[in-house]
């Protein structure tokens, strides 16, 4: 009987020990491999969704021209034959190149070097437009690599853009810089050139970049790099191809740019200017001067009228009004709404060619 109790006790104790060892997991057991996050696993994957900038550059670079201009530099006592450099972009397979007017102004001789074949060509001026600081030159030949215009209206502030050009005239081909669109539709006047449709970018633009293309991530030209603010950092400007494309087309077709003409000088109206002139409104576009026998004069517009709408679109800045004007052609009729002596009036103006 005693042996039976010992046997039963031993048997129960063995069962208890067995149960404990099968239900309690050791503290050193590793986490199953399927749930481990290795340290080397990339977490940030946004960059993989961007197109390769190298592919974009390879697409556009063959069409970027190095321009060398020989000109006569005149000082108070001397005249010196000197050289300046810039950039351009090939837009036709037979050699038409769009660049800046200030790159080729006063040129005695223009030479173009293409990165694709490392060959130098002598160029001639097809036409220039100091007002927009754009020009077209031409080299002789066929089957040149070309770039194509993009649509700047699709750009948003913060979009990536790439500037390509011959910065500082460095040997070895164009320089490439990347940045974003810092602002759109800037308008101002500088060195007797009126800029009404300007893209601001923080992509590095240096002397020698002038006339080169600013391209989007599809490799299409959305601007022509023109100048920088030297006293600031990363503030560069390119003429939007909304303007450049029309200038290029007119020069190719007519040898010069045909612009519509209202025949009035405008200023952005400010509260201070309104008070000074005793006007009843302090916002809008002030008519500063009307040329005799001009389209505006014939329509009855007078100095000190305040334009508030152009083709039913509200206008508050003179530069923006001119930008809207340049969207129309010679012979078009445009509706102008203005205030005079507290009364709103509307007139239709038939546009003529800018003299």
* Residue 133 among the catalytic residues: yes
Among 158, 194, 180, 231, smallest CA distance to 325 is for 194
Per-residue CA distances from 52 to 56, 213, 220, 286, 290 (Å): 7, 18, 14, 48, 53
How far is Cα 48 from Cα 50, in angstroms, rounded to an integer? Answer: 6
Catalytic residue among 87, 128, 193, 210: 210
What is the tally of helices (H) and strands (E) in the chain?
7, 20
Catalytic residue among 68, 87, 128, 133: 133
User: How far, in whole angstroms, is CA 169 from its chain's centroid?
Assistant: 22
**Contact (Cβ atoms closer than 8 angstroms) between residue 174 and residue 160:** no
Element containing residue 124 per DSSP (H, E): strand 119-129
* Residue 55 among the catalytic residues: no
How far is Cα 300 from Cα 74, in angstroms, rounded to an integer? Answer: 47
Catalytic residue among 102, 193, 240, 294: 102
Among 342, 333, 344, 341, smallest CA distance to 299 is for 333
Residues sharing a CB contact under 8 Å with residue 199, sequence separation 6 or more, in sequence order = 152, 155, 161, 181, 183, 184, 186, 214, 222, 223, 237, 238, 239, 240
Residues sharing a CB contact under 8 Å with residue 37, sequence separation 6 or more, in sequence order = none
Q: How would DSSP label each residue in 76-114?
A: SS-EEEEEEEEEEEE-STT-EEEEEHHHHTTEEEEEEEE
Among 213, 217, 194, 197, smallest CA distance to 205 is for 213
- CB count within 10 Å of CB 260 equals 20
3-state secondary structure (DSSP) of residue 58: helix
Parallel, antiparallel or unpaired: strands 134-139 and 96-100: antiparallel
* Residue 102 among the catalytic residues: yes
Q: Look up tokens 């409104």; give the residue.
A: 281
3-state secondary structure (DSSP) of residue 207: coil
Catalytic sites, residue numbers: 102, 133, 210
């Amino acid at each position: 009987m005693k042996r039976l109790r010992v046997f039963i006790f031993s048997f129960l104790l063995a069962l208890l020990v067995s149960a404990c060892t099968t239900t309690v997991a050791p503290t050193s057991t590793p986490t199953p491999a399927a749930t481990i996050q290795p340290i080397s696993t990339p977490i940030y994957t946004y960059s993989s969704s961007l197109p390769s900038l190298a592919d974009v550059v390879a697409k556009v670079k063959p069409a970027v021209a190095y321009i060398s201009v020989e000109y006569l530099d005149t000082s108070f006592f001397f005249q010196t034959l000197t050289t300046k450099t810039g950039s351009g972009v090939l837009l036709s397979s037979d050699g038409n190149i769009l660049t800046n007017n200030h790159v080729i102004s006063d040129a005695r001789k223009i030479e173009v070097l293409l990165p694709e074949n490392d060959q130098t060509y002598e160029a001639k001026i097809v036409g220039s437009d100091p007002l927009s600081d754009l020009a077209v030159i031409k080299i002789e030949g066929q089957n040149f690599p070309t770039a194509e215009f993009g649509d700047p209206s699709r750009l948003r502030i913060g979009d990536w853009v790439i500037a390509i050009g011959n910065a500082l005239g460095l040997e070895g081909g164009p320089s490439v810089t990347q940045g974003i669109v810092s602002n759109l539709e800037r308008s101002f006047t500088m060195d007797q050139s009126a800029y009404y449709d300007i893209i601001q970018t923080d992509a590095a633009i240096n002397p020698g970049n002038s006339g080169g293309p600013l391209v989007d991530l599809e490799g299409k030209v959305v601007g022509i790099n023109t100048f920088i603010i030297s006293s600031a950092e990363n503030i560069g400007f390119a003429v939007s191809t909304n303007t450049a494309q029309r200038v290029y087309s007119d020069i190719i077709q007519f040898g010069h740019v045909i612009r519509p003409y209202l025949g009035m000088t405008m200023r952005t109206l400010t509260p201070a200017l309104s008070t000074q002139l005793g006007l009843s409104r302090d916002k809008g576009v002030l008519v500063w001067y009307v040329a005799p026998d001009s389209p505006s004069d014939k329509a009855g517009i007078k100095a000190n009228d305040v334009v508030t709408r152009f083709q039913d679109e509200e206008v508050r800045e003179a530069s923006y009004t001119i930008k809207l004007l340049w969207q129309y052609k010679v012979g078009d009729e445009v509706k102008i709404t203005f205030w005079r002596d507290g009364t709103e009036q509307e007139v239709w103006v038939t546009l003529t060619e800018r003299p």
